[in-house]
Amino acid sequence: MSILSIRNVVKKYSNHVAVDNVSFEIPKGRIFGMLGPNGAGKTSLIRMITSITRADEGEIILDGEKLNASHPMQIGYLPEERGLYKKMKVGEQLLYLARLKGLSQKEAQSKVDNWLEKFDITDWWSKKVGELSKGMQQKIQFIATVVHDPKLIILDEPFSGLDPINTNLIKDEINAMNNNGTSVIFSTHRMEQVEQICEEIVLMNQGKIILHGDVNQIKSENKENKFEIEFDGSFPSDMLADSFEIVEDTSKSLIIQVKEGHNSNDLLRGLLDRNIEIKSYREVLPTLNEIFIKKVGESNE
C-alpha cells in the first residue's frame, strides 16, 4: 500500500502552472527522492502535501485517505527556509511545536528530553535559538520535525549547514526511523546524497515529471556502455577505430566506451587475444547527477 498517492494534481499561480497534472505513488516505508531544478514545482507540491496550500485539480491521498485537516499531525516537514523563533529558548520552542502537533504536555516533555539526550545537547535547553550556529539550529529544527513520531517526514535540504559528523548523525536517525516504518520524502540538489539515501526518485522539471523509478534501475537504464579497465601496457590502437573509444585516461586505468554494434565481451576478447593482462574490469554506470543534467536538458529542449 502507498503512504502517499499524488493523482493528476495541478497547481496554478495566476498564469503560471507550477504543478502540471502530476501523478505518482510512494510505497510505505520507502525513502523517496523528490528532485528537480529551481522552479520545477517541488516546493509547490510539498506545500500541497502538507496542506499549506490546496491543489486546484486532482487529489492527494495519505495512507489511504483523501487529504484532510487531521493529516498535518501525521506529517513532519523540514522546510528549506527554516522557521524557528530566534528569541525563544530551545526547550520552550520544542515543547510548543510538539504541542501544536497534538502531544500532551507530558508526552511533549518526554520526547523533547529524549531527543536532546540522543543528540547530546541537553545543555541547550535554556539557550535562545538566535544564539545557536546555523548547524545547531538545524539540529533543533530536525527534532521539531520528528518529535511527534510522524508516519511521513518531508525533508527539504536537511543537511544544509551541517558538518560531516552531524550530517552522518542526522542520516543515521533518518535511517533508524525508516527502519521502524516511517516513510521519508527527501528533497535536495545534492545528487550524491540522493544516491546514498534514496531507493526511488521522481524528477520534475517545469511542473511535470520527466523521470520516475527505482534509483538502481534508472542508472542501469541510462548506462552508456562505459567500462573501466586497469591493465599493464598500452591500449591497442588497432582496437579503437569504430569499435571502442577512450573517454577518460587516468594514470592507473582507462574508461572505454563500447560503440554501437559491439559489446563488453568484444572488448575483453580483443584485449585477451593480444595477451594483455587485465587487473580489474567494471562497468561504469552514470551518476544521478549526470542523469539529472541530461534529462533536464532534454526536457528544456
**Domains, in order of start, for the chain:** 2-214 (3.40.50.300), 224-284 (3.30.70)
Residues of the chain with pLDDT under 50: none
Q: Would you say 64 and 152 are in contact if contact means Cβ atoms under 8 Å apart?
A: no
* Residue 252 pLDDT: 74
Phi, psi dihedral angles at 213 (to 5 degrees):
155, -175
Model pLDDT for residues 220-274, shown as the tens digit of each residue: 899 888 888 888 777 777 777 778 888 888 767 888 888 887 888 888 888 888 8
Residue where the block lists cell 582496437:
239
* Residue 25 pLDDT: 95
Alpha-carbon distance 48 to 263, whole Å?
47
By CB atoms closer than 10 A (0-12, 13-18, 19+), residue 158 is: buried
* Residue 191 pLDDT: 85
